[in-house]
Amino acid sequence: MSIVHKEIAAIREDYAKSSLNETDVLRNPIDQFSKWFQEAIASEVTEPTAMVVSSADQKGRPSSRVVLLKDIKSNGISFFTNYNSRKGQEMIANPFVSVLFFWPELQRQVRFEAEVEKLPDEDSDEYYASRPRSSQLGAIASPQSEVIADRKVLEDRVYAVEKEFEKTEHIPRPTFWGGFLLKPYRMEFWQGRSSRLHDRIVFEKQADDWKIIRIAP
């Protein structure tokens, strides 16, 4: 039985766990994000590193997916993927993305609007070397975002890669796989509040500084 629209509309929760004011936030949004991220970990949020990354093709048509944050740097955040995947190709061709973290246990969201660039090879090499061997092999075997006939195709490719590298202790990173750095020029910190009157504090990049504003919910 399908859920009727009135039942969907009746699903609601009042947010009243915390508040956020302009005077509460740190002056740098990456520092503020790091603070909230540590609080998410301390609160045992489910998948605190999960973030929705939205890219767009050259016609402006967007696509979104969940990926995992792997590092917080002084000028942005990073994750790793197959450069030949849909997201990889879109970010290379159109190097701007939006990013969303949602931590429902804390009634918080963080939104990034960011410019994209590839991480240096040494950063990608270092992270790839730290991955479990099975993940390394999977990254090589999977033609990410390409059409395959069935799962057996993927399993056969994994088996072939396992045989190829069975006597290799350190598997080299494939050149088509690596990291992206997302450098924000706008960030929003959203704290749920009662009666949908949420707190929204925005950082906008201005030259080498950040302007802090509040926007209405």
pLDDT band at 7 (very low <50, low <70, confident <90, very high): confident
Does pLDDT of 66 surpass 70? yes
Are the beta carbons of 91 and 180 closer than 8 angstroms?
Answer: yes
> Which residue in 86, 131, 133, 196 is the catalytic one?
196
Does pLDDT of 145 surpass 80? yes
* 196 is a catalytic site residue: yes
Return the percentage of the chain with pLDDT > 70, whole number.
98
Instruction: In whole angstroms, give the CA distance from residue 79 to residue 51.
Output: 10
Crossing angle of helices 151-164 and 133-141, rounded to 10°: 120
Across 198-203, average pLDDT: 98
Q: In the predicted model, what is the mean pLDDT of the chain? A: 95
Tell me the whole-structure pTM to 2 decimals. 0.92
Does pLDDT of 2 surpass 70? no
- pLDDT, residue 33, reads 98
- pLDDT, residue 12, reads 76
Does pLDDT of 67 surpass 60? yes
The conformational region for residue 140 under phi > 0 = left, psi -120 to 50 = alpha, else beta, is alpha
- pLDDT, residue 89, reads 97
Does pLDDT of 35 surpass 80? yes
pLDDT band at 3 (very low <50, low <70, confident <90, very high): low
Does pLDDT of 1 surpass 60? no
- pLDDT, residue 6, reads 75
